[in-house]
Amino acid sequence: MNNTEKKEEALKKSCNILRILCCVPTIILLCFTVWFAYICIVTFCTKDKVNSQEVTLQEQLLKQRVDEPDSIPLITEGFDTPFFETCDTGILIGFKSDLITHLEYKSRLDLAKEGTYYLYPAAGYALGFIQCADLTVAFWLIICLLSQIKKDATPFNQVTLRRLKWIFILFLLFNLINGKIIGSIILALLLWCLYTMFDIGCSLQKQADETL
């Protein structure tokens, strides 16, 4: 076995190991994606129950706070303060959505009584679903990428480059969803540099193949 064959064999082994390692977070993220989707649907389907439970809870806390003001300071902290006062879900790249703007100065009890409190947990579950789905697809593409590298015995080809581009886009999208504008800009620059290096590598590989 010559040096080239040894290198190809080592590359294939490395790809196999990395694929196995990537399968673990992919399965975990897929489970979370399904769970968030399920709980979000359940929240919408049982919105009346969610609202009534919140009304009961907040009225109990209010009564307990009146009767024993010093007994539960941590539990009741903020229950009657402006709702979403410091909330920033990052749904719109760090900016407050129309939902948050609409509910900003209402308490949990007010929201529950008017029947809109369920939107708060539902929005959180929906955001969790989007984030987990984004990362699930990204890790699945990484597994596909490693399979392609193993098959071709080289990371420098157009198929790998296309998949790498989508992986970068998904990780960048995940950062933007979380409202990390500065981090997203830095990540975009780093990924652009890495993508450019792979693009150059693909061009050199193509030239070498044509020479042979």
> What are the tens digits of pLDDT across the range 115-132?
877 888 888 888 889 999
Exposed e or buried b for every residue in 116-149, given b needs 16+ CB within 10 A? Answer: bbbbbebbbbbbbbbbbbbbbbbbbbbbbbbebb
Whether 71 has a pLDDT exceeding 80, the answer reads no
Confidence class for position 1, pLDDT limits 50, 70, 90? low
What's the chain's average pLDDT?
A: 75
Confidence class for position 95, pLDDT limits 50, 70, 90? very low
Between the ranges 4-8, 53-57, 129-133, 171-175, where is the mean pLDDT highest?
A: 129-133
3-state DSSP call for residue 97? coil
Candidate from 134-138, 173-177, 199-203 with smallest mean pLDDT: 199-203
Whether 40 has a pLDDT exceeding 60, the answer reads yes
Closest CA to 7 of 153, 144, 145: 153
